[in-house]
Amino acid sequence: MKKAAYSFPEEVLEHVFSFIVSDKDRSSISLVCKSWYEIERWCRRKVFVGNCYAVSPPILIKRFPELRSVTLKGKPHFADFNLVPEGWGGFACPWIRAMAGAYPWLEEIRLKRMVVSDESLEIIAKSFRNFKVLVLSSCEGFTTEGLAAIAANCRNLRELDLRESEVEDLSGRWLSDFPDSYTSLESLNISCLGNEVNLLALERLVSRCPNLKTLRLNRAVPLDRLPNLLRGAPQLAELGTGAYTSEMRPDVFSNLAEAFAGCKQLKTLSGFWDVLPSYLPAVNPICSQLISLNLSYATVQSPDLIKLVSLCEKLQKLWVLDYIEDDGLEVLAASCKDLRELRVFPSDPFGLEPNVALTEQGLVSVSEGCPKLQSVLYFCRQMSNAALNTIARNRPNLTRFRLCIIEPRSPDYLTLQPLDDGFGAIVEHCKDLRRLSLSGLLTDRVFEYIGTYGKKLEMLSVAFAGDSDLGLHHVLSGCDNLRKLEIRDCPFGDKALLANAAKLETMRSLWMSSCSVSFGACKVLGQKMPRLNVEVMDESGPPDSRPESSPVEKLYVYRTVAGPRLDMPGFVWTMDDDSALRIS
């Protein structure tokens, strides 16, 4: 009956907790009892905030006083496709300011889809003495001046990754701001920068950092400088080339091939802008060791792609343009038995007629030939229920399936029926499916399948689909693990939304644009659910200047413990629980 026999000293518990790394598990630990909550929050070092508006800097800092690593995500996913207007939000500054004061020993900041200013970068550069990792993924709002501050001040920087960010490129000189004494770089990704960087500074930087494992150059780095860079870093594991073209000279080619051959640990290749096909074979010496290949900018035709891909027997991840065509995918299926992820992007997405011989058959071949295939992103112009059925049966181990049939509402091209059954087969057979994107002609039936079978589904993207509220209702009531739902141009409205209001608190967020949700329903939702932020976006003026029954342009609903946000631009209104419209 003595409690003492059953309680461990704090230090022991802390030590035990240090082995628990996943966020979910740490959350579970903190719910066991008050003392565990306390111990856990003091020793938590890493936090992931999936929606920066779900919580606020003071709340985060109050609960976790000793963080070393913070990840924040800002804008909704559809911002990637220009559906979120400029100025919407996702500002990193308040977070960075707060963290600068609270976490002097912060080492890692990872931001996705946030607006980051040069001022914020300067604060980072000056506030964290042991700063090691900066990842800005799909961010915007900063210039090369901000990067110069990071380069000049972060003596312990290991990783600087600007993947897919929009950077105002004022000058390539910022790279020279890394002091000569700086040698700790392990990963550098500048592939998004538009202008030339100082190549001499780059070469010197690369050759003096012995732990450099990842180097992703931008398009402006010419091919004839690549061999020198590679020779300066033979330990490279991941390389993104610059422009892959040059005057065709035999010495350039052999120089390049030799340099590639010298990189015995190179496993990942990307870049390949402006590819001159005759230079592709320069990578042949290392094909057999490649596990990841991103050729999605390489405008080369199928035969050249086939020659390359057929040599990559260990390939696990391939991103490629639809130039690869069905033939190329067949070769892929035959050669790359370890393939886990395939993404095929369209070379001519706005053309009316197909420009390449890529159909559903390519995907079917890969699903047949690659037993480990888990993740698919596929753009094509025709699909059939039969093909989807075959894919589903071939690959029940799929976890991510994103299909984009380019023309909205395309039916099964063989039967002219909706593709409900095909996608139904996918959710039925792929029991571990976590992410699904739909396209083509779809009725409410596909959502019935999804609600019935998509029990592990966490993220669903829907466009131009469905007939009625039933569709939305099936998904919200059936998908037990749904976290993110994004919908555009579907006839879903008030009934399903209000009937499933409680469900929305179990999800991270819901996006609905160009649907049939009325302003009145948004107000009701906001009133009913105080722990949700119900944000209405309308660029044509305040929604209350129109009848309550008129549909809102865009709706973004997310759970939060921080209350309505205070940084909304003029075209965003939050539906308060006191039902007063706050007009910013």
Partner 1 sequence: MEKVGLNLEATELRLGLPGSADEHDEKLSSCSYSSSSSSSVVIRSNKRSSPEESIDDEEELKSNKRTMISHHNDDQDKNVPPSKAQVVVGWPPIRSYRKNNGVQQQQQEQKKKGEEVYVKVSMAGAPYLRKIDLNFYNTYQQLLLALENMFNCTFGEYSEREGYNGSEFAPTYEDKDGDWMLVGDVPWNMFISSCKRLRIVKESEAKGLGCL
Closest to partner 1 by CB, 39 vs 472, is 472
User: What SS3 state is found at 60?
Assistant: helix
Closest to partner 1 by CB, 385 vs 560, is 385
Contact criterion met (CB below 8 Å) for 542 and 581: yes
Which residue from 27, 550, 579, 584 is in contact with partner 1, where contact means CB under 8 A?
Answer: 550
Which residue from 117, 207, 289, 347 is in contact with partner 1, where contact means CB under 8 A?
Answer: 347
Closest to partner 1 by CB, 70 vs 363, is 363
As measured in angstroms, the least distance from the Cβ of 388 to partner 1 is 9
Q: Could you give the string, one character per residue 324-343, with x where binding to partner 1 holds by CB under 8 A and - elsewhere?
A: --------------------
Q: Which stretch binds partner 1 (CB under 8 A): 89-97, 208-216, 441-449, 519-527?
A: 441-449
Longest Cα–Cα distance of the chain, Å, equals 85
Q: Which stretch binds partner 1 (CB under 8 A): 8-16, 18-26, 62-70, 439-447?
A: 439-447
Amino acid at the residue 257: A
As measured in angstroms, the least distance from the Cβ of 101 to partner 1 is 34
Which residue from 16, 32, 33, 200 is in contact with partner 1, where contact means CB under 8 A?
Answer: 200
Structure tokens at 414: 């063989």
Q: Rounded to whole angstroms, how far apart are CA atoms 577 and 523?
A: 8
Which residue from 213, 317, 434, 488 is in contact with partner 1, where contact means CB under 8 A?
Answer: 488
Q: Tell me the sheet residues that pair with 460.
A: 436, 485
Closest to partner 1 by CB, 184 vs 198, is 198
Which residues, numbered 286-315, are part of the site for partner 1 (CB under 8 A)? 296-297, 299
Q: Rounded to whole angstroms, how far apart are CA atoms 560 and 235?
A: 45
- Determine, following the binding rule CB under 8 A, whether residue 428 of this chain makes contact with partner 1: yes
As measured in angstroms, the least distance from the Cβ of 54 to partner 1 is 24
- Determine, following the binding rule CB under 8 A, whether residue 266 of this chain makes contact with partner 1: no
Which residue from 195, 211, 477, 545 is in contact with partner 1, where contact means CB under 8 A?
Answer: 195
Main-chain phi, psi angles of 322, to 5 degrees: -70, 5
Task: With CA atoms as reference, report the closest residue to 452 among 421, 425, 478.
Answer: 478
Contact criterion met (CB below 8 Å) for 534 and 565: no
- Determine, following the binding rule CB under 8 A, whether residue 278 of this chain makes contact with partner 1: no
Closest to partner 1 by CB, 19 vs 81, is 81
Q: Which stretch binds partner 1 (CB under 8 A): 310-318, 410-418, 497-505, 522-530?
A: 410-418
Amino acid at the residue 35: S
Q: Rounded to whole angstroms, how far apart are CA atoms 150 and 145?
A: 9
- Determine, following the binding rule CB under 8 A, whether residue 385 of this chain makes contact with partner 1: yes
Structure tokens at 466: 């469905």
Structure tokens at 540: 């044509």
Structure tokens at 254: 């052999």
User: What SS3 state is found at 534?
Assistant: strand
Structure tokens at 320: 């490629």
Contact criterion met (CB below 8 Å) for 129 and 157: no
Classify the phi-psi angles of 568: left when phi > 0, otherwise alpha if psi is within -120 to 50, otherwise beta: beta
- Determine, following the binding rule CB under 8 A, whether residue 404 of this chain makes contact with partner 1: yes
**For residues 87-100, b (16+ Cβ closer than 10 Å) or e, as one string?**
ebbbbbbebbeebb
Closest to partner 1 by CB, 108 vs 444, is 444
Task: With CA atoms as reference, report the closest residue to 290 among 306, 313, 310, 273.
Answer: 313
Which residues, numbered 51-70, are part of the site for partner 1 (CB under 8 A)? none
Which residue from 199, 446, 459, 557 is in contact with partner 1, where contact means CB under 8 A?
Answer: 199
Helices (H), 64-129: 93-102, 118-127
Q: Which stretch binds partner 1 (CB under 8 A): 111-119, 122-130, 188-196, 281-289?
A: 188-196
Task: With CA atoms as reference, report the closest residue to 463 among 444, 447, 487, 485.
Answer: 487
Main-chain phi, psi angles of 93, to 5 degrees: -50, -50
Which residues, numbered 64-103, are part of the site for partner 1 (CB under 8 A)? 78, 80-83
Which residues, numbered 460-479, are part of the site for partner 1 (CB under 8 A)? 461, 463-464, 467-470, 474
As measured in angstroms, the least distance from the Cβ of 226 to partner 1 is 14
Q: Rounded to whole angstroms, how far apart are CA atoms 23 and 187?
A: 25
Q: Could you give the string, one character per residue 144-173, with x where binding to partner 1 holds by CB under 8 A and - elsewhere?
A: --------------------x-x---xxxx
Which residue from 493, 526, 543, 564 is in contact with partner 1, where contact means CB under 8 A?
Answer: 493
Closest to partner 1 by CB, 102 vs 386, is 386
- Determine, following the binding rule CB under 8 A, whether residue 346 of this chain makes contact with partner 1: yes
